[in-house]
Amino acid sequence: MSKPLGLVVSGSLDTGIQVRLDSSTSVEEMTVGRFITIEGEKHRFFGIITDINLGIINDQIIQTPPNDPFIAQVLTDASTYGMLDVLPMLTIGNVAGHEEPQPVKTVPCHFSPVKLASDTDIESVFGKEDEKRFWIGNPLDMETKLCLNLEEFVKRSNGIFGKSGTGKTFLTRIILIGILQSKAVNLIFDMQNEYGYTGTKEGSGTVKGLKQLFEAKVAVFSLDEANSSRRISKPDAIVKISYGDIEPEDIVLMKHTLRLTDLAIAAIYPLHRAFGKEWIQRTMEVTAETLPEGLNVIHESTLHSLKRG
């Protein structure tokens, strides 16, 4: 069993829990993203380290920091300390261990001991690898397999977030591979060409995309045939949007991108009613003088603004 890292000293359910590290725990051994457990009076809490801070007992240390290594060591033991910001995620049982993981609805009491999560704790939350649970990787600094119940995962909206370079794309690809082996279907808007025919890896080089790995289960559609040819990818179909498929509401959504004035937006609707499916082509062809009766209230500058957009 792992030794306590420190004790809960403050916090809230909304902002998270502050943990003061024990003097025997090096702050440099702590890492953002590691799983921890908190032993409350009635519940065991499962959480994640979100931030690491340095604290001092006396502000004078900041004004006159020690230069002598021996004095620095003495002050480190007596006047400085480390703090963790911890976000509780679940309660993983009461003190007797008889409770299934539940959403956290309270906070641990003051001075509750905090420990690094064990392999057993991880398995109690994520389960073991089996027919329902897909292995997606390992927790930070642990060898335990982190598994995902794909059947439950696809029932709700989910997101993968992180800083640049932390492996979001690869993690997404791994999860999509797992979902591909289930009955769920994904519609992927692949703006950076990371998942279709090929993908890129950190540094340089390419990796196989979902189409290469699961050719029969993946269909790639492209909006840019020339770009697909340059990348030597093989889309199953080229998507072409005709002018007749574009509704006024589509243009309204692009108001700021197209730099359209409010008057130009207001002119879209009567033009659409007058010209129907061909409203974009007809708008490009007409002038302020040749506008049909009923549309001559549209000012020439408004029509020019709309055409430019």
Structural domain boundaries enclosing 168: 122-180
| Most confident segment among 44-48, 70-74, 197-201, 283-287 | 44-48
- How would residue 65 be classed by pLDDT, with cut points 50, 70 and 90? confident
Nearest residue to 122 (alpha-carbon basis) of 140, 104, 96: 140
Last residue of a domain, one of 136, 165, 180: 180
Mean pLDDT value of segment 243-268: 92
pLDDT at 249: 94
Between 84-93, 178-187, 212-221, the lowest mean confidence (pLDDT) is in: 178-187
* Total domain count, the chain: 4
Shared-domain flag, residues 101 and 199: no
- Confidence band of 209 (pLDDT split at 50, 70, 90): confident
Strand intervals (E) in the chain: 6-12, 16-21, 35-39, 43-56, 80-94, 102-103, 113-116, 133-137, 146-149, 198-200, 206-208, 221-222, 237-238
The more confidently predicted of residues 138 and 99 is 138
Q: What percent of the chain has pLDDT over 70?
A: 96
> Band of the pLDDT at 203, cuts 50, 70, 90?
low
Mean predicted confidence (pLDDT) in 209-217: 89
Domain for residue 1, yes or no?
Answer: no
Evaluate if residue 157 carries a pLDDT over 60: yes
Q: Flag whether pLDDT at 82 surpasses 90.
A: yes
Locate 263 and state its tokens.
């008057």
With respect to residue 154, please indicate whether it lies within any of the assigned structural domains. Answer: yes
* pLDDT number for residue 297: 82
The per-residue pLDDT for 184 is: 82
Are 28 and 96 within one domain?
Answer: yes
Per-residue pLDDT, 95: 59
pLDDT for 280: 92
Given 117, 139, 171, which residue is the final one in a domain?
A: 117
